[in-house]
Each structure stands twice: as structure tokens, then as C-alpha cells.
Amino acid sequence: MSTDPKFEFLCRMGDNALVLGHRVSEWCGTAPVLEEDIALANMALDLIGQTQLWLGMAGEVEGAGRDADKLAFHRDVWDFRNVLLVEQPNGDFGQTMMRQFLFDAWHLAQLTALIDSSDKEIAAIAEKSAKEVTYHLERSSDTVIGLGDGTEESHRRMQAALDLLWPYVGEMFLGDDVDAAMKDAGIAPDPAILRAGYDQLVGDTLAAATLTKPEDDFAHRGGKSGARHSEHLGHMLTQMQWLQRAYPDATW
């Protein structure tokens, strides 16, 4: 795999959208009510659309003849660069929406910062995506508040989801060599600078949802570097990549 930091960075953006998009699409046909089913499918569609833009550009930057489809379907788990949060299983509907909220809040901050990127193509993709993600965050934060401050049962489930997923939040703000190279080139922000705004927004939302943020900020890591994905991603890829694994290069 290429070690060009810009390629790595674009894979991170694309893989976050791809893996979460696929996870959310797993709800298609099985969500609690029809409206939520449609909403989840629509959000998955937005994320897959964004994936095509990011991974399409990654393929061009790499210059090795791989397009978005090749990158999505012909890489194995160790080549994926998504954060651990997005590959976590759906759990119940509340857990899915908590994962969505924790990601959306970071995603929108990241995309908003990327609109000022020195790379005009990255800025254009970010500007387009930010509009869609603004809408996602509006919905996921409303749902987290509605369920957190809902019935005793929904509150219990949302608190359990938060406790389960919080250790995956920190990775989004941990920088490494790729991030440093992107920052030096004016392409992307230092991940750490997004943390204060995130904590503010998440804190306000969780307070409105009557949920308690875990005190321990321990963070699992290894997703965005690809060094150590959780066991869940490989299982997900066997489903997502099934057709291309069984019939390589099959097309419509």
C-alpha cells in the first residue's frame, strides 16, 4: 500500500464514510418503524456517495489505476483506515443512533475545517458533504435527546450505548505522522484542535438527553492507522465484499 500521506488521509475520510454507510445500510428493511428505516437508508446513501468522492480522489492521487470500487471491494481489513468507532456493530437502534451522533459531531467539525483546505478538490468534497452531514447531525442529536430523555427503558439503553462507545471517541482526535503532514501542507486540521468544540457540543446534547458522559477518557486506537482493527470489521467485509470476492471484477 502507498505511503503517500495524502492518499492515506483520503482513505481515512473515504473508509469512515464507507464503513459507517455499510453499517447503517444493514438496517435496511429491519428498522423499528418505516420512517426510521427510510431515514437510515438515506443516510447510508449519503455516506456511500461521499465515499465515492473520497475514494475516487484517493485512487487518482495514488495513480495506480485503482478507482473507488477497487479500493472499497479489493482491499482486505488491514488496508482499511476508518476509525474503530464506525466499525462497531449496530446493536439496538439506540446504539446505532448513539454511534451516529458521536461520529456526526466529529464528522461535521472535520468537514467544516476541510472547507478551508489548501487542496481545492478536498475543499469541494468537504463543502458538498458538510451540507448532508449537517442534516445527519440534526437528526442523530434529536434522536439521542429523544431517547435519552424518554422512557426508563430507552434512557437505560442510551446510557449503555454511550458507556460502550465512549472509549472509541478519543481515536478521532489522536494525530499521527499522516495528520502532521496534512497539517503542514494546509490540507487538513490537526485532529486535536477539534476536541474542544466536540466536547462542548456533545456535552450539551448529552445533558439535554439526561445522559452521563463516562469519566474515563481511555481511547482504543488502531483503526485509522490500520494497525489493529477490532474483530468486527473483518466480519463486515465478508458481507460487503462478498460478490467481488466470489466473482472478482464482476460488473453489471
The footprint of other proteins (CB under 8 A) covers 35-36, 38-39, 41-43, 45-50, 52-53, 120, 123-125, 127-129, 131-132, 135, 138-139, 252
Q: What is the nearest approach in angstroms of other proteins to the Cβ of residue 117?
A: 11
Q: What is the nearest approach in angstroms of other proteins to the Cβ of residue 214?
A: 29
Q: Which residues lie below 8 Å from residue 213, measured CB to CB, with a gap of 6+?
A: 162, 166, 202, 203, 206
CA distance 30 to 61: 38
CA distance 61 to 64: 9
Q: What is the nearest approach in angstroms of other proteins to the Cβ of residue 30?
A: 16
Of residues 79 and 138, the one with the C-beta less far from other proteins:
138
CA distance 221 to 96: 20
Of residues 138 and 176, the one with the C-beta less far from other proteins:
138
Q: Which residues of 211-250 are buried (b: 16+ CB within 10 A; e: fewer)?
A: beeeeeeeebbebbbbeebbeebeebbeebbeeeeeeeee
- Cell 473483518 maps to which residue? 234
Contact 198, 173 (CB under 8 A): yes
Q: What is the nearest approach in angstroms of other proteins to the Cβ of residue 32?
A: 12
Q: What is the nearest approach in angstroms of other proteins to the Cβ of residue 42?
A: 4
Of residues 35 and 152, the one with the C-beta less far from other proteins:
35
Of residues 60 and 190, the one with the C-beta less far from other proteins:
60
Of residues 10 and 53, the one with the C-beta less far from other proteins:
53
